[in-house]
Copies of this chain bind each other. A is one copy, B any other.
Amino acid sequence: MELTNWLAKRVRLSPGKTALVFQDKQETFSEIYDAVREVAGKLASFGVRDGMYVALLGKNDRDTFLMIHALAQLGARTVFLNNRLTATEILFQIEDARVERCFYADDFVDKVTANLAVSFTCVKEAPVLDAPLVSNFAMDTVASVMYTSGTTGKPKGVMQTFGNHWWSATGSMLNLGLVAGDSWLCAVPIFHISGLSILMRSVIYGIPVYLEERFDVERVDKLLRSGEVTMISVVSTMAQRLLDVFQAPYHANFRCMLLGGGPASKSMFEACFERGIPLVQSFGMTETASQIVTLPPEEALLKIGSAGKALFPAEVKIGEHDEILLKGPSIMAGYLHNEEATTKAFDVDGWFQTGDIGYIDDDGFLFVLERRSDLIISGGENIYPTEIEHVLLEHPNVREVAVVASPDVEWGEIPVAFIVANGVVDLAQLYEFCQKRLAKFKIPRQFYFLETLPKTASQKIQRHRLKERL
């Protein structure tokens, strides 16, 4: 099935509505479209054409925003490079995806010229060709490729189709609604699905993206107070930083703080609700084109800790070994050039195997426990790191925590905790705190204190890097 080229259609429907607010400058869909077509003309002068795989190294700015849309207008399949990766990691993805052209934004000139064996191009000064733009977006055509952060194994290129993005956007709308004056603040990376999905929703819904180069807590706090922004996507560290500076209620227009990238603590939810912050837990991944299980806003208070229910077009169930299985039209077409991994990702009935473990309660709400690979098996007992983390987060001096398995001769594995602390932690008191709340075999044998925890670009804790330290 095909729909008209989404951006072209949106421009025809609402040319005068705001599409982008970047560095406090507003631009309408009509203005953006003119700029996008110019960039498309420049890209065409480098031979970009329908169906071509093209790598893009960008950041959260207007130039990258235009490039993303321009590549789609030409029918290119964009491989989104994470700009925090090393040259070696980038090279791996470029080769693995067999991209034909690589483009970058100005800022990355050092990175791309220093160590790379591939040639990256900046289109800024290129001549503008009169290139043919695609008239339709076919639902089963690959729109974007993103390499999974690779907390285990080699990164794989997730193929997201136009259909995946469409169903994700409409599924989200059926849960969160669409209100006149809606706008979405994007302070998460646009090379990640949490950011790109905001760009997609903007075009499909006809609402502005407030694009922020980085998560500047003072700026975001101000925007949530202004009434201009009604929705924002965050990870829990962002929510925590907003709580840290919170002084007075946000504007009544602000109606959804969509939380991804792992669950928040119960105390964070309580702190948000006390302050009237509409925190909404969700669960999703690159392979599901963003959120696929989300807590309905009206039940956010009743089911703290739950990721919610599968969005209308999707389904969730628990498979073997308590693995979370997903089905629905927002789930990826597969891994690029990797049939083996694609086959392994789906079970015989077509359910996508997330590798996460969890359970569904009697009311049908999903609770995510952790990555299967993060499970700690100690003396035959299953230990769920998140359970211990949630307990430790209740401690007033524990700001962030990750619990991982450490090899042990006697027990096979034992749990150890890495902590980012608020102030000074009394170890004896911390141990006592755990003793009151956790079975003995669950209490971490070691506590390590760090300045920060290692995280992926999407703010997921990289547990494998912590394990390497042990």
Contacts and interface: CB of A to CB of B under 8 A. Distances in A.
A81 B3 CA distance: 33
Interface residues of A, number: 27
Contacts of A173: 170, 173-174, 178
A204 B1 contact: no
A173 B173 CA distance: 9
Interface string A248-284: 0000000000000000000000000000000000000
Interface in A170-228: 170, 173-174, 177-180, 204-206
A204 B296 CA distance: 15
A408 B364 CA distance: 71
A9 B170 CA distance: 16
A178 B180 contact: no
A385 interface: no
Contacts of A13: 296, 309, 312
Most chain B C-beta atoms within 10 Å of own C-beta, residue among A178, A204, A312:
A312
A174 B13 CA distance: 11
A454 interface: no
Nearest to A313: B3
A297 B14 CA distance: 12
Nearest to A206: B174
Given A1-B329, A4-B315, A298 B180 contact: yes
A12 interface: yes
Number of copies: 2
A12 B314 CA distance: 12
Nearest to A9: B312
A135 to B, nearest CB: 10
Given A13-B312, A309-B12, A177 B174 contact: no
A313 B1 CA distance: 11
A175 B284 CA distance: 27
Contacts of A174: 170, 173, 178, 204-206
A91 to B, nearest CB: 38
A170 to B, nearest CB: 5
Interface in A279-301: 296-298
Interface string A1-27: 101100001101110000000000000
B204 A312 contact: yes
Interface string A356-373: 000000001000000000
B180 A180 contact: no
A343 B14 CA distance: 34
A420 to B, nearest CB: 37
Contacts of A178: 173-174, 177-179
A364 B11 CA distance: 11
Contacts of A3: 312-313, 329
A1 B10 CA distance: 25
Contacts of A313: 3
A364 B170 contact: no
A299 to B, nearest CB: 9
A13 B173 CA distance: 14
Nearest to A6: B312
Contacts of A296: 13-14
Nearest to A176: B178
A297 B179 CA distance: 12
Contacts of A329: 1, 3
A379 B10 CA distance: 44
A366 B62 CA distance: 34
Nearest to A181: B177
28 contacts: A1-B329, A3-B312, A3-B313, A3-B329, A4-B315, A10-B312, A12-B309, A12-B364, A13-B309, A13-B312, A14-B296, A170-B170, A170-B173, A170-B174, A173-B173, A173-B174, A173-B178, A174-B178, A174-B204, A174-B205, A174-B206, A177-B177, A177-B178, A177-B179, A177-B180, A178-B178, A180-B297, A180-B298
Given A12-B309, A13-B296, A14-B296, 17 more contacts: A1-B329, A3-B312, A3-B313, A4-B315, A9-B312, A170-B170, A170-B174, A173-B174, A173-B178, A174-B204, A174-B205, A177-B177, A177-B180, A178-B179, A179-B179, A180-B297, A180-B298
